[in-house]
Amino acid sequence: MVLALLFIFFMARGIIIVDANFGKSMYLTWGTQHASIQGEDLQLVLDQTSGSAAQTKIPFLFGSIESKIKLVPNNSAGTVTAYYLSSTGSQHDEIDFEFLGNISGQPYIVHTNIYTQGNGSKEQQFYLWFDPTADFHNYTIHWNPTQVVWYIDSIPIRVFMNYEEEGIAYPNKQGMKVYTSLWNADDWATRGGLVKTNWTNAPFIARLNRFRARACKWNGPISINNCASNVPSNWWTSPIYKQLSYAQMGQLNWVRNNYMIYDYCKDTKRFNGQVPPECFKTQF
């Protein structure tokens, strides 16, 4: 009886925990002739005919989105493996992980970005401190009304705080689906486009497994309040998720001090000396 009442309460609020495999949560949208989804496993393929992509069946507003990913091995220059959240339309919100391939022996670059109301240009990039092609690693986007945190193997690498009350846009009013894709971007991905995709290495394959979306299902505008309300069922609004712990701060600073290679907030030339206003705010 108690479980039944809890189920009714969760469904009434639009809260759903998707603890399902790729086959139940996602479907292929591109490159269906060579990509595949089987249970826990998703395989993305890129060759000269096309790349491939998949997306979730439903959108979310707040929660934790995670998957394990094994990136394209060997000479992956020119390729991009993307894993991100996005809404639709010209005023869309988006939260990105993009993995920029490189020639053999050179490190992958993790490219992160966030769009709010159609405005991006908030890139931060990092080298990885491990070989992301040798095994699967966990990549998580934790998104709540207070902050967005990007994690790799439970280590936070970036934080974007909510300063909406000070006129800085924040992604909190649009449901977003989860997308993943593998595609050719040799016009910019590796050394600014200087290194092109070597098609003799095709097919390029990225593998994903154990997708989990512990998140609030988007049911339209009613979800803006339902998914943000501070109730026990909205576990992502708990005080422990409103700010990184002392230990997490140490991990974040370790990554940023040792592996960060680009921060839009420090690129004054790009913005003609007028960097975006959030760059003057505490972000973690």
Query: Which are the catalytic amino acids?
Result: 94, 98
Residues paired with 63 in a beta bridge: 143, 215
- The DSSP annotation for 7-39 comes to HHHHHHHTEEEE---HHHHEEEEE-TTT-EEET
Task: Quote the CA–CA distance of 214 and 64 in Å, as a whole number.
Answer: 5
- Percentages (nearest 5) of helix, strand, coil residues in the chain: 20, 40, 40
Nearest to 46 by CA among 181, 208, 209, 186: 181
Q: What is the largest CA-CA distance in the chain?
A: 63
Tokens of 209: 């497994």
Tokens of 239: 């005080």
Task: Quote the CA–CA distance of 149 and 161 in Å, as a whole number.
Answer: 9
Residues paired with 127 in a beta bridge: 109
Kindly state the DSSP code that residue 264 receives in the 8-state scheme. G
Residues paired with 125 in a beta bridge: 111, 262
- The DSSP annotation for 161-217 comes to E--GGGT---S-SS-BEEEEEEEE-TTTTTGGGTS---GGGPPEEEEEEEEEEEEEE
Task: Quote the CA–CA distance of 135 and 75 in Å, as a whole number.
Answer: 16
Tokens of 95: 């939260």
